[in-house]
Structure 1
Amino acid sequence: MEHHHHHHHHHVEVGEHTTRLFVFCILLNLLFVGVEAGVGLWQHSLSLLSDAGHNLSDVFSLVLVLVAIRLAKVKSNRHFTYGYKKSTVLISLLNAIILLVAVGAIIIESIHKFAEPAEVNGAAVSWTAGTGIIINGLTALLLMRSQKSDLNVRGAFLHMVADTLVSVGVVISGIIISVTGWNIIDPIVSIIIAIVILFSTWNLLADSLRLSLDGLPEGINLDEIGEKLRSDSHVTDVHHVHVWAISTTENALTAHIVIDDIGCMEEVKERLKNLLEEEHIAHSTLEFETRESHCHAHDC
């Protein structure tokens, strides 16, 4: 039985562009948190102060993603043979949990407001939340392109979309309160927003949990991979196929490949590696065997 192992590295690298983008988004959002907290203190507005706190948790989530991007670039060593790539999966899981906690906080706060609706200065709230729509919306737009290829960026993107929605809700309730004086609108809008955030976070949580447990990464179909590997003219069988995520952007595979002529092994391996790269699997370890060795191993 021959055992060969080598790597082709063509992964989706999170570029310097994304890193700079995150630094910019963090600074932009920190500035906004400062302004919002200032106006909240000046106007004695509890909703603005709590929104500033919520936005601060977003800045924290952006910082976490930046940490994940940095950790993913750490070189492998004797104790961590893949480097710290898996930390990107754990951070996306943490981000999903933070979003769920935020949803819980919004719901509890809303229930409290139903019991005793607070006096709200509609105009001040609307203006500040309007600025929030611009800042959060801009951040979400900047992250939109990268979010399809990385679960972590998607987490940050969802945080920002959620925040933009919260700000839209605050503006609408601010306007309605200014016109009608119905303070009860505030918690109603909050609960609707919380439900919207919950739905978007659920998938992020499920994906993060699945990757944490070495489940099949999204977009990978095991049957299709098997078919592609078997499509090579020299391959007679494929078994023991395992696929898992090394990080939020890189996948790995191990498989046993039975071939009819061990002399063709190198060229078959080259072809199969290229096939796998097309399927977004950058790290593949293929173990080659012939029908005889396979039979011998299985005690035919």
Structure 2
Amino acid sequence: MKQQGNHNGHSHAHGGHVHVHAPRTIDRIFIFCILINLLFVAVEAVVGLAENSLSLLSDAGHNLSDVFSLALVLVAFRLSRVHSTKRFTYGLKKSTVLISLLNAIILLAAVGAIVIESAHKFYEPTEVNGAAVSWTAAAGIIINGLTVILLMRGQKNDINVRGAFLHMAADTLVSAGVVVSGMAISMTGWYVIDPIVSIAIALVILASTWRLLSESLRLSLDGTPEGIDTEAIEKMIRDRHNVKDVHHIHIWAISTTTNALTAHVVTSDINAIEQTKTDIKKVLAKAGITHTTLEFETENCHCNGC
């Protein structure tokens, strides 16, 4: 015998399912970060053009892509709150995963553009005002550092926020590198330092983007979310009282903040299904899986559907 969980087998927001939405305050944080970074991009681009600094222009281009990324994450938060419909039964929560993938692709394109322009600068180095570069990049350290501090708390629970946090943290280090480059140019007059620093910037961006890209791809393909150990989850379920076996386990991400699971559970006591179900969902919620569908079977179930 087996019993489908149906509505009782799910954890819903009004009956045990804890959807983890981004707090409304994170919207305001992102809007503030977008504004201050957009202002800095404008300043950095103007100084970079005026002083012929590729490292400043590269950093400005990357910061502009980060502003766009922050804006996309803000859009993702709004879309994740769209209620489910008959056509989209999960709402638009999956858009958060698609946007994180888009952000990673945008950053990879930015890396390619920086590398191409840097290669050109190696062959035709131009005069650069090292002092202007250093002062402008120093301002970037303050702006990017403030953004990192604001995003630090939220990055633990959402891949999109973590992506933004990692990018801005990398930008802070990059700005520090540009400061050093400006000082080195001022002291040595070696303008080739500018494209060298641009290449280093590209490598930092690539390193910070790779994890975001791989995780976004995995989630978009309904792979097991990072931090979820399938074997540990299976053992966790098996260890519950009245559970004899578990199979057909599937774990995936509904959004960047909500993980789901379906499984067939073999129980030794068909009369204790509700208690067993509640027990399983509690331990799964602690493991980061808040949307659970369980189908129960007895040990002597030999029908084709078992």
Superposition TM-score tier, normalisation by shorter sequence: over 0.9
Q: Which residue of 1 aligns with 2:162?
A: 154
Shift of 1:298: 7.0
8 Å Cα contact 1:22-1:66 kept in structure 2: yes
Equivalent position of 1:12 in the other structure: 20
Q: Partners of 1:283 and 1:268 in 2: how far apart?
A: 16
**Residue segments in structure 2 that go unaligned for 5+ positions in a row:** none
Candidates 290, 294, 297, aligned match of 2:298 = 290
Superposition deviation, residue 165 in structure 1: 2.6
- In structure 1, distance between residues paired with 2:64 and 2:225: 31
Say yes or no: does 1:132 pair with 2:140. yes
Structure 1: stretches of 5+ with no match in the other structure: none
Q: Deviations over 1:62-101 (max 9, x none)?
A: 0001011111111111111111111101111111111111
1:199: Cα distance to partner?
1.8
Contact 2:55 2:197 in 1 (8 A): no
CA distance in structure 2 between the partners assigned to 1:251 and 1:280 by the alignment? 7
Per-residue deviation, residues 109-142 of structure 1 (Å, max 9, x unmatched): 2111111111101111111111111111211221
Residue aligned with 1:78, SS: coil
Question: Aligned to 1:296, what secondary structure does the other structure show?
Answer: coil
| Corresponding residue for residue 2 of structure 1 | 3
SS across alignment from 1:29: helix
* Aligned AA (2:87): H
Q: 2:103 pairs with 95, 105, 120, which one?
A: 95
Task: Return the alpha-carbon distance in structure 1 between the equivalents of residues 179 and 123 of structure 2.
Answer: 22
Match of residue 280 from structure 2: 272
- Displacement of 1:297: 3.0
Distance 1:17 1:167 in 2: 28
Question: 1:165 and 1:104, CA in 2 relative to 1: closer, same or farther beyond 3 A?
Answer: farther
Instruction: State the match for 1:143 in structure 2.
Output: 151
TM normalised by structure 1 equals 0.94
Task: For 1:29, give the aligned amino acid.
Answer: N
Give the direction of change, closer, same or farther, for the CA distance of 1:200–1:41 in structure 2 (3 Å limit). Answer: closer
Deviates more, 1:156-165 or 1:261-270: 156-165
Give the whole-Å Cα distance in 2 for the aligned partners of 1:204 and 1:100. Answer: 11
Q: Deviations over 1:160-217 (max 9, x none)?
A: 1232233222211111111110101111122222222212211111111011110011
Alignment map for 1:164-183 (pairs within 5 Å): 164-183=172-191
**What displacement does 1:35 show?**
2.4
Alpha-carbon offset, residue 50 of structure 1: 4.6
RMSD of aligned Cα (Å) = 1.7
Contact kept? 1:241, 1:253, Cα under 8 Å: yes
Q: Give the alignment partner of residue 218 of structure 1, picking from 214, 226, 237.
A: 226
Equivalent position to 2:254, from 226, 246, 252:
246
**SS of equivalent residue, structure 1 residue 59:** helix
Amino acid paired to 2:249: V
